[in-house]
A and B are shown apart, each in its own frame.
Chain A
Amino acid sequence: MAQSGSDLAAVPFEQLVKREVVTGSTLARQISDSPSAVAIVTAEDIRAYGYRTIGDVINSMRGLYTTSDRRYQYLGGRGFGAPGDYTGRIMVLIDGYVTQDTLFNQAYIDESGLLDLALVERVEYVPGTGSVTYGNNAMLGIINIVTRKGGDFNTAQLSAEAGSHDTYRQRATFGKRFANGADLLLSASALAAQGQNLYFPAYDTPANNHGWANGIDDERNQRFFGKFSYEGFAVEAGYVDRKKTVPIKATEYSVFNAPFTIDDANGYLNASYETDLGLYLYSASRFYFGHYAHEGQRVIDDPTPYARRKHRAEWWGVDQKFIGKWFASHSIMLGMEYRNDFSQYLSRDYAYPDGRIDSASSVKESYARNTASVYLADEYRFHDRWSLNVGVRYDKASDLDGNWSPRVALIYQPDFRTTLKASYSEAFRMPNADDRSFYGDGARPEYVAAKEFVVQHNLDRRMRVTGTVYEYRRSKQMVDVSGNADYAAVGSSLARGGELEFEARWDNGVRGKTSAAWQNSRDTSGLDAINSPNLLGKFQLTSPLPGDWLRAGLEAQYLGSRLTTERRRLGGVGLVSLTLSTERKWHGLSAAFSIRNLFDRDYEVVSPFAWAPGTGIDVLRMDGRTYWVQLNVDL
């Protein structure tokens, strides 16, 4: 048997030094403290496979997929991903800061997201509920983004990108680690894309320009990011403003082929201080501030043709966490958080062609909420090979009853190569400002209970297999009980599935990953859930090319058949992309070139639109083959 830790205490040192040692795995290890099957994408994967948004990263992960309606990109997986669900119910964290806006709980994963991928060190997807640590909205999974340090750049870098459909991006980044240990990273970037003329078969009539939406697919964004750390102190801020013209007819009353513009701005400040208070107590203190603003204007068929939205939210919070390690077999965490969503402002109105607002149509709503939370967890290693992880979080919001989110997990490591984890957890989601506006006093929290079993086995230090089976039971979902917009929190749904992944990383620079995921989910009506493919497959392989100057990255993704909102079955689709990137810098220069949808597959995704059944509006055609090139220079 492989010998474990403390048995070695009895071995004399002169014998110990002769023992054979196996090295730890060369594969990336999870940072997130979670008893689920974490998927990891690192900065080198981002380069090798030419990822440009967090959405691209998510698409590459086991069991996940994204759907775009040409407004936003939405995440799906493990039975969630119904169209129109603003990627809510999952949480996206940047260095510990919860990025969702407080109006819609939307996680921005496309070009409206906060970060340039060049600033990302790793992305971890933690499936399962995270309410035990994060409270509200961590229902179905957590995406943890860790940004790079200034020292990782240690230079000023300029970058330029060009892509299909007249897409250009410029970025300037400065990073430095100073001799006293202080670390600084500053970055700014701008994206401008012309977009395409797009054909929508569902609107192919002479009155609708024969289904063509021309010149209304442009997109722009500006991003700013900075962080500074010294000793245990860190301060970080990010801002993004994305403007997009949307080529789709977004509502029943919208005019097709008329400009529909959306503008989303997200910003945050996160300041933290961590320290060890003596040898056994770790403390992390954090203050955060968040800002979100949305403006939208679309053309409708009405005497007041401009339908406008103007929303704005701001919030701040403080979090204090202690981890006590007084006992060898326990690691006890105690934390408190206070969050104040002091400004949640929603406004809608309609304007005449001359710009006058129809005051009768103007709706202005204002909400606020503050939430106080405490959380407690213990990691109890009650045996060399066994540990028990128990935790609970209590959240009390000003407008809701208090809620407990428990988690219990049992972890068994029969040997140093293998880990088994079984967990049960409950999580919840408070109605957000948009829900409160839509459902009024009927808005209620929604719940999920999750069970998961995970096996992870390192075949050797280069290869790892991960297998998982899970079940999610959601309850108290809002459903329309009479069919006449008569909503009540009585819905429940069920998702079950399994995932299997194989990863390898060889010493010659070749690495690969492949996974398959099966899911079976029933929605609140008891029927097979919409836009929830039964099968998802991923394959990634990257290798240096002869000469060691270039690296090739090949990626294939399979999105299985799934149902549209009209319960039509869309066939499965396989997409391949290829990326070439420089393996070494040449006089500070590096470059990458990618082809997406290499075989130019014509495919459709499920759309959120349901007002004209039978016309084909329940699907949207996606892009064919596209190209992208990036050039970086270190000054």
Chain B
Amino acid sequence: MRALVLLLLFWLSPAAHAQVVAEHDMKAAYLYNFAHLFEWPESRRANFHICILGDEEVGAALQGYDEKRINGQRMVIARLTTTTPIRLCDILYVGAGEAVNLPKIRSMLGNQPTLTVSEKGNLQSVGITLALENNRLLFDVNLEHCEKANLKPKPAMLSLARSVRKAGDGEVRAGAASR
């Protein structure tokens, strides 16, 4: 019991809280920002769908953004369990738990304008990957993939990326990353 009390005191103490952001909260915030940092093709839908597959924590963190607006569309967060409805997604985040299904996801989506986001190491099969490095969340853009899907990243997006992969070449470093 005493240990429990000490534990309670510990997390109540100011020292326990640093000026930092939890990984899943930051990933959610990035996904929200990506929605604003792309030019989306005209959509017939009233809602803008951000889907999360294979990461409960990011899904829960994104709930806080539900009903915010993107270019007049209402943002809707969908926490998916299976790949069945992914063709309805505007942004699809594929967490580590479902990364094994990326080839299938890619073939299901074809060239439709869905921005796929995943973890480090999967850049060849998605539009953006996220990577944690030196306590910062960095991202890489696969421009070739985005162009095929008819998605245009805004200049701010590319300048903040760690790297941008273009059609026909390996990796070309963007200006901001070489600072």
A interface residues, Cβ below 8 angstroms from B:
1-6, 8-9, 11, 13-14, 16-24, 151, 177, 179-181, 231-232, 274-280, 282, 323, 325, 328-329, 381, 384, 414-418, 455, 457, 465, 467, 469, 498, 500
User: In the complex where A2-B22, A20-B136, A22-B135 touch, is A500 in contact with B29 (Cβ < 8 A)?
Assistant: no
- B132: which A residues are within 8 A, CB to CB? 21, 23
Bound Cα distance from A183 to B37, whole angstroms: 38
Q: By the criterion CB–CB under 8 Å, are B156 and A5 in contact?
A: no
CA A274 to CA B81, docked complex, whole Å = 8
CB of A154 to closest CB in B, whole Å: 12
A267 and B89 CA atoms in complex are apart in Å by 42
Does B21 sit within 8 A of A, measured CB to CB? Answer: yes
**Do A416 and B22 form a contact, CB below 8 Å, given A21-B135, A276-B85, A279-B78?**
yes
A276 touches B16 (CB 8 A): no
- List B contacts of A4 (CB < 8 A): 25, 64
Contact of B84 among A13, A21, A232 (CB under 8 A): A232
Contact A1 B26 (CB under 8 A): no
Cβ A276 vs Cβ B76 within 8 A: no
Q: Can you name 28 A-B pairs with beta carbons within 8 Å?
A: A2-B18, A5-B64, A8-B25, A8-B28, A9-B68, A11-B29, A13-B160, A14-B156, A16-B29, A19-B21, A21-B20, A22-B20, A22-B23, A24-B22, A180-B104, A277-B84, A278-B85, A282-B82, A328-B66, A329-B63, A384-B64, A415-B16, A416-B24, A417-B16, A455-B8, A457-B10, A469-B1, A469-B4
| 0/1 string, B89-111, CB within 8 A of A gives 1 | 10000000000110110000000
Looking at the complex, which one of A24, A498, A500 makes contact with B23 (CB distance below 8 Å)? A24
Chain A proximity mask over B102-136: 1 for CB below 8 Å, otherwise 0: 01100000000000000000000000000010011
Of all chain B residues, the one with the shortest Cβ separation from A384 is B64
Which residues from A are CB-within-8-Å of B103?
179
Q: Is B172 positioned at the interface, with any CB of A under 8 Å from its CB?
A: no
User: With A276-B82, A498-B1 as given contacts, are A20 and B29 in contact (CB-CB < 8 Å)?
Assistant: no
Partner of B104, one of A2, A181, A280: A181
Interface residue ranges of B58-78 to A (CB < 8 Å): 60-68, 76-78
User: CA A206 – CA B49 in complex, angstroms?
Assistant: 82
Contacts known (A232-B82, A457-B10); A17 close to B3, Cβ less than 8 A: no
Q: Which of B33, B60, B62, B68 has the most CB of A within 10 A?
A: B33
Contact residues in B for A14 (Cβ distance below 8 Å): 156, 160
Interface centre among A18, A279, A323, A455 (most CB of B within 10 A): A279
Looking across the interface, which residue of chain B has its beta carbon closest to that of A468? B4
The CB with the most chain A CB atoms within 10 A, among B4, B21, B24, B88, is that of: B21
The distance from the CB of A453 to the nearest CB of chain B, in whole angstroms, is 9
- A23 to B80 CA separation, bound complex (whole angstroms): 23
Closest 3 CB pairs of A and B: A6-B64, A328-B66, A279-B78
In residues 1-42 of chain B, which contact A (Cβ within 8 Å)?
1, 3-4, 7-8, 10-11, 16-26, 28-30, 32-33, 36-37
> Would A417 and B7 count as touching, CB distance under 8 A?
no
CB distance from A452 to the nearest CB of B (A): 13
Decide: A325 near B79, CB < 8 A? Known: A279-B49, A455-B7: yes
Q: Which residues of A contact B137 (CB under 8 A)?
A: 17, 21
Please tell me if the beta carbons of A9 and B23 are within 8 angstroms of each other in the complex: no
Contact of B4 among A21, A22, A181, A500 (CB under 8 A): A500
Q: What residues of chain A lie closer than 8 Å to B21, measured between beta carbons?
A: 2-3, 8, 19-22
Q: Which among A1, A5, A20, A417 has the highest number of chain B CB atoms within 10 Å?
A: A5
CB-nearest residue of chain A relative to B101?
Answer: A181
> B104 — which chain A residues lie within 8 A by C-beta?
180-181
Q: Does B57 contact A (CB under 8 A)?
A: yes
Residues of A within 8 A of B61 (CB): 5
Point out the residue from A8, A13, A231, A325 that lies within 8 Å of B156, measured CB to CB. Answer: A13
A8, A231, A325, A417 interface centre (most CB from chain B within 10 Å):
A8
Cβ–Cβ contact A20 & B135, under 8 A? yes
A325–B66 alpha-carbon span in the complex (Å): 12
* Interchain CA distance A415-B78 in the complex, whole Å: 24
Q: Is the CB of A16 within 8 A of B33?
A: yes
Instruction: Known contacts A9-B68, A22-B21; decide if A279 and B4 are in contact (CB<8 Å).
Output: no
Extra contacts, 12 of them, besides A8-B26, A232-B82, A325-B79 (Cβ < 8 A), are A2-B17, A2-B22, A5-B64, A11-B29, A13-B33, A16-B26, A22-B21, A24-B57, A280-B78, A282-B81, A418-B11, A498-B1
Question: Does A465 lie within 8 Å of B7, measured CB to CB?
Answer: yes
